[in-house]
């Protein structure tokens, strides 16, 4: 088990290295392009040359990569062009805001999706099953930007119940979180619910469920003890991978509601050609995604005795 976790960690570090190298290469192999992005489009050749020299861009790329990697590892991501300050200063507070948004979303979405999925999968083909399935297809078909607009029109323009933006300009207001969270939950729960349903329905058809019923166990015990545990193995992985998806959804929602989070930061960096900020933000995003992947693998092993005791 320890060896397995160790292996996964080593593999994760290797993946991160590979990604950092690729990212560095595509972003910075061409020093002149970087200079142009930093200094703006109307810069003379001399200025660029001076900038390249001053910032060490005339050295070979691998020297620069090692230096960059060393800086990144020590927490120094360089200077943001747009925010005119160290990247880390903007990055961490934004990340914190997104963590709040994602945390609340998860806390609502996961229990909701699991409950609905189990209810649907328990009796495949029943009315409950069909309504849950159709509802989840419909909600996953509405892109986040579309539901953001539709919900804003409904709750802000027509009903006037909720604030339409979440910039938190008058201090921290929990009301402003409601719409973004609603949009994320609406789009995200369907997938988990459907996977849970499929997994539950499959488990309910297994012969060991028949054994449990014909052993004379009460239906409740069959579901709680025999079905649920096996049915949770597949959705667990899905839930962990959902974090990766959530990071995508967060970009849209944060942009739509002007929430000052990590997602909108990435987009700002991208649109403003803020190379160092984009590099840093991408590395952070990938790190989050890869570490949840590792957690998913380890958790899957723990849940599944067939792998745990090979």
Partner 1 sequence: MSQASTPTFDWTPDQPVLECEGLCISYFTRAGEIPAVLDFDLKVMQGQSVGLVGESGCGKSTVAMAVMRYLGRNGGIVGGTVRYKGRDMASLSAEELRQLRGGEIAMIYQEPMASLNPSMTLGRQLMEVPLNHESGISEKEAHERAAQMLADVKLPDPERVMRAYPHQISGGQQQRVVIAMALLSQPSLLLLDEPTTALDVTVEAGIVELIGEIAARFNTSMIYISHNLGLILETCDRINVMYSGVVVEEGSVEEVFDRMRHPYTRGLFNCIPLPGADKNARPLIPIVGQLPLPHERPQGCYFGPRCEFFEGGRCDAGPIPMETIPDQTGHRTRCLRWQEIDWDAKARGSDAGEEIDEGEVVLRVDSLRKYYEVRDSSIAALISGKRLRHVKANERITFDAREGQTVAIVGESGCGKSTFAKVLMGLETATEGSIAFREADLADKPIEKRSAAEIASMQMVFQNPFDTLNPSHTIGGQLARVIKKFGVEKDPAKVRQRVLELLDLVKLPREFARRRPRQLSGGQKQRVGIARAFAGNPKMVVADEPVSALDVSVAAAVTSLLTDIQRSYRTTLLFISHDLSLVRYLADRVVVMYLGHIVEQGTTDEVFSPPYHPYTEALLSAVPIADTSIEKKRIILEGALPSVLNPPKGCPFNTRCHRKIGRICETEVPPMVETEPGHVIACHIPEEELRAMDPVIAEKRPAAAE
Partner 2 sequence: MADTVNTKTAASPGGLRGLLRSMIGGLGLLRESTIGMIGFGLVFVWALVALFAPLISPLSPTAQIQPFAPPGTVTETGQTLWLGADQLGRDVLSRIIYGSRTVLFYAPIATFCAYFVGCIFGLLAGYLGGWVDDLLNRVADIILAFPVLVLYVVIIVLIGPSGLNIILAVTFASAPGIMRIVRGLTLDLRNRDYIAAAQTSGASLSWILFVELLPNARGPLIVDACLRMGYVIITIGVLGFLGLGLPPPTPDWGSMVAQSRAMITFAPWMAIFPAIAISSLVLGFNLLADGIREISLRD
Q: Which residues bind partner 2 (CB under 8 A)?
A: 15, 18-19, 22-23, 26-27, 133-134, 137-138, 140-147, 149-150, 152-153, 156-157, 164, 194-195, 197-199, 201-202, 244-245, 247-249, 251-252, 255-256, 266-267, 270-271, 273, 278, 281-282, 285-286, 288-290, 293
Q: Where are the alpha helices (DSSP H) in the chain?
A: 2-28, 31-39, 45-54, 61-73, 87-122, 127-141, 144-152, 175-204, 207-214, 219-221, 228-231, 233-257, 262-271, 275-303, 305-308
Task: Please choose, out of 10-18, 35-43, 109-117, 201-209, the segment that lies near partner 1 by the rule CB under 8 A.
Answer: 201-209
CB nearer to partner 1: pick between 181 and 232: 232
Binder of partner 1 out of 230, 242, 264, 292 (CB under 8 A): 230
Q: Note whether 225 binds partner 1 by CB under 8 A.
A: yes
On whether the CB atoms of residues 299 and 4 are closer than 8 A, the answer is no
Q: Note whether 210 binds partner 1 by CB under 8 A.
A: yes
Distance CA 148, CA 139 (A): 12
CB nearer to partner 1: pick between 100 and 307: 307
CB nearer to partner 1: pick between 1 and 107: 1
CB nearer to partner 2: pick between 123 and 225: 123
Question: Site size for partner 1, by CB under 8 A?
Answer: 25
159 DSSP 8-state letter: S
On whether the CB atoms of residues 115 and 286 are closer than 8 A, the answer is no
Distance CA 77, CA 23 (A): 14
Q: Note whether 125 binds partner 1 by CB under 8 A.
A: yes
What is the nearest approach in angstroms of partner 1 to the Cβ of residue 304?
7
What is the contact mask toward partner 1 in residues 85 to 124, using x (rule: CB under 8 A)?
----------------------------------------
Q: Note whether 220 binds partner 1 by CB under 8 A.
A: no
Residue owning tokens 């999706």: 113
Residue owning tokens 């014909």: 214
Binder of partner 1 out of 3, 45, 73, 159 (CB under 8 A): 3
Q: Which of partner 1, partner 2, none does residue 18 bind to, with CB < 5 to 8 Å depending on kind?
A: partner 2
Angle in degrees, 0-180, between the axes of helices 262-271 and 275-303, rounded to the nearest 10 = 140
Residue 116 CA neighbour count, 13 Å, CB half: 20
- Write phi, then psi, for 247 (nearest 5 degrees): -60, -35
Q: Which residues of 241-268 are buried (b: 16+ CB within 10 A; e: fewer)?
A: bbbbbbbebbbbbbbbbebbbbbbbbeb
Residues in contact with partner 1 by CB under 8 A are: 3, 125, 206-208, 210-218, 221, 225-226, 229-230, 233, 303-306, 309
């Amino acid at each position: 088990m320890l060896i397995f976790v160790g292996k996964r960690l080593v593999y994760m570090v290797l993946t991160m290295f590979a990604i950092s190298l690729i990212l560095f290469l595509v972003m910075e192999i061409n020093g002149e392009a970087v200079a142009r992005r930093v200094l703006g489009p109307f810069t003379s050749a001399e200025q660029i040359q001076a900038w390249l020299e001053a910032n060490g861009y005339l050295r070979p790329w691998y020297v620069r990569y090692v230096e960059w990697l060393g800086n990144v590892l020590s927490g120094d991501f360089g200077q943001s062009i747009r925010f005119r300050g160290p990247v880390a200063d903007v990055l961490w507070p934004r990340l914190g805001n997104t963590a709040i948004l994602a945390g609340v979303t998860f806390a609502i979405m996961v229990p909701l999706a699991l409950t609905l999925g189990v209810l649907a999968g328990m009796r495949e083909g029943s009315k409950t099953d069909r309504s849950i399935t159709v509802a989840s297809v419909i909600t996953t078909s509405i892109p986040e930007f579309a539901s953001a607009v539709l919900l804003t029109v409904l709750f802000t323009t027509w009903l006037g119940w909720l604030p339409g933006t979440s910039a938190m300009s008058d201090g921290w207001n929990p009301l402003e979180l409601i719409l973004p969270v609603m949009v994320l939950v609406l789009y995200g729960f369907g997938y988990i619910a459907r996977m849970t349903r499929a997994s539950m329905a499959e488990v309910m058809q297994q012969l060991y469920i028949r054994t449990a019923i014909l052993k004379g166990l009460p239906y409740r015990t069959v579901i709680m003890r025999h079905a649920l545990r096996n049915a949770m193995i597949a959705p667990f992985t899905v839930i962990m991978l959902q974090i990766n998806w959530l990071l995508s959804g967060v970009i849209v929602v944060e942009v739509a509601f002007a929430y000052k989070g990590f997602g909108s930061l990435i987009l700002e960096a991208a649109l403003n050609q803020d190379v160092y900020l984009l590099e840093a933000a991408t590395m952070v995003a990938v790190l989050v995604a890869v570490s949840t992947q590792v957690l998913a693998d380890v958790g899957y092993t723990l849940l599944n005795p067939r792998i745990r005791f090979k």
